[in-house]
Structures are given as structure tokens and as C-alpha cells.
Structure 1
Amino acid sequence: MTALGFLYPGHSAEDDYPRIEQLLGSDIRVDLVHTEIGEDAHRVEALLETGSAGRLATRVQELRHAGAEAVVWAGGSFVHGWDGAQEQVRTLAVAAGMPASSTSFAFVHAVRELGVRRVAIGATYPEDVAQLFAQFLRSDGVDIVSVTSSGARTAAEVGAWGEPELFALARNSDHPEAEALLLPDTALHTAAHIPALEKELGKPVLTANQVTVWEALRLADRRVNAPELGTLFTREPIVQA
């Protein structure tokens, strides 16, 4: 049994995680611990506070006691910038006593895994926050061909979206030059729809909760073939990061 630990801010799309656990169809256990979200707002200041070291440290020991082998912060560490996000992960790893990462770095590593360089972004966030995510990816050399912002102000708003809103976001955000579409925001329900999204767009789709679980598996040195979770979970490794 491989136990994966996740720190998830608030309550929006946390039910993606037990669904993903079922879809993995192997000896993988997904342990989710909720952190205090503070102010539910897609504003830089609020997102910085949500991912502060103090908020994460107060709950990470629960994952350690549960036997987690790796922990991933399922929040927007990209707002800290590349160096700040790396420091956040280092601090989390020390506090947890295990390998650690974040959803933002999960996207970076997943893009490398797919071997693509040109991507489109479909962000639920306001424009300024969406551009910070794009800037974060550019720090690793990813070519962002387009950024679409839906302007949602809170995680609660995004968590209430259903399949129509998700597919509209994907269609509106895709770009003919993009080799993959990225849908950030762990408040967005996507786990049940990734193959359908990829079929409609004709390219890989990376979503926040999907890449977050994949990143934890990567940290735990596990590979699981799960076509129900999209192209990312069916490819042989291209790089080891």
C-alpha cells in the first residue's frame, strides 16, 4: 500500500480525490487533510495567506501520523513566484518529514512528462492571478500560447460549477497552436471528465487535482496506468525530475 498525503484548502472539489483513488484501481491510498482557507478570495494577498507556512504546518502532522509517504499542497503556490514556491515546498518537506511538492510544480513536471512545450491555459481566476500562473510556467521555459480568465472571485463559486461550465471553459480556452490545455484551480471538479475533455479537444488536458495526485505518485516513485485519468496517466516516462 502506498499512502499519499494532500493538504487541501477549504472545501470545494475535495471529492475529486476519493474519485481519483477509485480510478487508480491499485494499492494507492489517498489521505486528504483540509487546511484553513482564511478569506475565500482569488486575490493574491488572500492566496498568499492561504498557503502560508503556519497554516500548512498546523495540519501536516496528521498526514505524517497517517503514514503518508509524500505530501502535496493542493493550493496556488504560484502566487509566491518560482523562488517563493520552492521555499514553500522546502519548508513543507521539513515540517512533514517526507518529500513534498505543490500543485504548481505538479503542472511543471506534468508538462515535462508529456514532452510538450506550447500550452494554453484556461483559468478560473481573475486575469491578474491567471497571469501569475502563466508567469510561473514560463519560469521553466513553457511557451504559453494563450491565457483565458473566467474571472471567478472565490473557490466556492468554482466548486459549484458543473460539467457545462467546465466544458465551456475548456472550449473557450483551447488554442490551435497549443499541444496541451491546462486547467488550474483545485476548486474545479474535473476528475470525472478528463477523457471526454481530451476526446473533444484532441489533445492532452491537465487539470489541477489530476496533476496533484500524479505528483504525489511521482514523489513516492510509483507509476499507475489509469486511462480514466487522461493521457498523463498512460504515458511512459519521458523525463525524471
Structure 2
Amino acid sequence: MEITKINPDYQKSEYFDGKKLGLIALSTDHIIEDNLRDMLNDFDVSILTNRIIFDGQVTEDSLAAMAQDLERATHNLLPDKAVDVIAYGCSSGTAAIGEDRLREEIQKVKPSAKVTNPITAAAAAFKALDVTKLSLLTPYIPDVNRKVGETFAAKGLEILNIAGFGVLEDADITRIDPAAIVKEAKACLHPAAEAMFLSCTAMRSIEVIEVLEKELSIPVVSSNQAIAWHAIRLMGYTNISDKWGRLFQL
């Protein structure tokens, strides 16, 4: 058997020509990668995912506990390499940990990365859409809904009402059928709402955004849609799309 060593002066090139989005996804999340790849397919963006430890119980204590694993999860997104934007993929987890702490912990490891999450991204989306009065539909239990509502209210948004499916197990959130999301979104819409937020990266919301916007006649924003939109804006893209709702058509 002949074994040959190739000359180390062979031609080299970079694999990543475009932007890099680092995603910190929950260990129990079934859909966020698929959602982001669908929405960012027309953009020159590579998505790199690492999973953060989560026990699967969507309670304030379990959500807040993820902060303990943020440093490891961030470090393992291309260790010692720069990433353009890092997205923390959990809406209720952002509310439990806090936006400032999330950003500080992530940038401690990746100082050059811009940081987003569903709460920060959605707030930027509502500002771009010029709306402040919201109805929220979530999969959460009441205590988690309260925390999410208070987090948005602290940012100057008026939360008119929140309806939650009361699902405790994160893995079961993805089992909520899109038809049920449409039905409950229509039922919970407040008459004064200027927009609706479908909270949770594990809920199959992007499948129904365009249907709901047509039926409700207001903008509809979801967690994963907001992350995708905000991430590409942070990267400097201004492209519009004919898919994924009014937000992507701005």
C-alpha cells in the first residue's frame, strides 16, 4: 500500500463567503433551524447551531437556569472564530434571563458578534411596523405569559391581552397544529390591537403568518420570523421578500 503526503502548499480558500449567523437553540427545540433556513434561503447567510442545556419544562425557574450554560454554548459556535450575529433562540427564556444579561454573556465570549433574540427582534419589528398595541398568543402557562408580557411592556409596548395554550413541555409545543394557532389567534385578537405576536421559537407559527395577516388585516409577527428579519438587518441586508409576512416586505 502506497501512502503519499500532499505538499502543504496546496490551494486554499475560505468556505464562508457570506455572513455567519450563530444560533443558540434549546436542546428540546424541534423546528427553529428549519424555520430560519427557510426564511434566509435567499440571503447569503450560513447558519451555525449549538444547543443549550434545557430540562424541557417551560417554567420561569427552568428558563432562567439556561443562563448557566450560555458561556459554553456560545464558545462552541466556531470556537475562537468570529460570527457576525448570534441569536438566542428562546422567547420566554429571554424574558426570564433578561436581554442585557444575554447580550453580556454572549459578547463576553464573542465580543465582535451582534446579538439578537425573539424579544429584542420583535420589539425592533414592531417599531419598524409602527405599532405599539399588541395581542399575544403563546403556548405558555400563565406565570410565563405574565413575565413575557411584562418584558414587552417595559419596552413601551402596550400588551392588551395574552392567550396561552398552557403547554408545560417544550417538546409538546411543536405538536400544536397550525390550524389551532389560526383558530386561537382569531379568537384572542383584541379589537384595539395593531399587531399580533405569536411567541415561542418552538411553535409552528411561520406556517400561518400570511393566512392570519389576510384574515386579521393587521401585521402578525412570530418569534422565528422576528429573529430572521432582525438578524439580516444587523448584517446590513435590506432585501425585501414576497414571503413571510408584512415584516419581510418592509
TM-score by length of 2: 0.84
Structure 1 distance, partners of 2:25, 2:239, is 22
Task: Confirm whether residue 63 of structure 1 aligns to residue 82 of structure 2.
Answer: no
> 1:78 maps to what in 2?
95
Q: Is the 8 A contact 2:133 2:195 kept in 1?
A: yes
Q: 5+ unaligned residues in a row in structure 1: which ranges?
A: 236-241
Structure 2 distance, partners of 1:100, 1:220, is 11
> 1:238 maps to what in 2?
none
Stretch deviating more after TM superposition (64-73 or 147-156): 64-73
Q: Write out aligned runs for 1:7-22 (5 A).
A: 7-10=24-27, 11-14=29-32, 15-22=34-41
Structure 1 distance, partners of 2:49, 2:239, is 19
Structure 1 distance, partners of 2:107, 2:184, is 34
Residues 173, 31 of structure 1: CA spacing in aligned structure 2 closer, same or farther, 3 A cutoff? Answer: farther
Q: Is the 8 A contact 2:22 2:87 kept in 1?
A: yes
Q: Secondary structure at the match of 1:188?
A: coil
Give the drift of 1:186: 0.6
| Bigger RCO of structures 1 and 2 (CA < 8 A, at least 6 apart) | 1
Identity rate, percent = 20
Structure 1 distance, partners of 2:175, 2:165, is 14
Structure 1 distance, partners of 2:65, 2:184, is 27
Higher helix proportion (structure 1 or 2): 1
Structure 2 distance, partners of 1:30, 1:229, is 18
> 2:10 maps to what in 1?
none
Give the drift of 1:118: 0.6
* Matched letter for residue 234 of structure 1: Q
Structure 1 distance, partners of 2:117, 2:189, is 24
- State the Cα deviation string for residues 109-150 of structure 1 (Å, max 9, x = none): 111111101111111101111111111111111111111121
Q: Is the 8 A contact 2:141 2:168 kept in 1?
A: yes
Give the drift of 1:168: 2.1
Structure 2 distance, partners of 1:9, 1:169, is 25
- State the Cα deviation string for residues 136-176 of structure 1 (Å, max 9, x = none): 11111111111112111121111112221221232222112
Q: Write out aligned runs for 1:162-201 (5 A).
A: 162-201=177-216
- State the Cα deviation string for residues 160-214 of structure 1 (Å, max 9, x = none): 1222122123222211210000011111012233211211211111101111112
> 1:239 maps to what in 2?
none
Structure 1 distance, partners of 2:204, 2:49, is 16
> 2:232 maps to what in 1?
217
Q: Is the 8 A contact 1:31 1:68 kept in 2?
A: no
Structure 1 distance, partners of 2:57, 2:134, is 26
Q: Is the 8 A contact 1:194 1:228 kept in 2?
A: no
Match of 2:162 among 128, 144, 147: 147
Structure 2 distance, partners of 1:155, 1:136, is 20
- Equivalent residue pairs, number: 227
TM-score by length of 1: 0.87
Structure 2 distance, partners of 1:91, 1:206, is 27
Give the drift of 1:67: 5.2
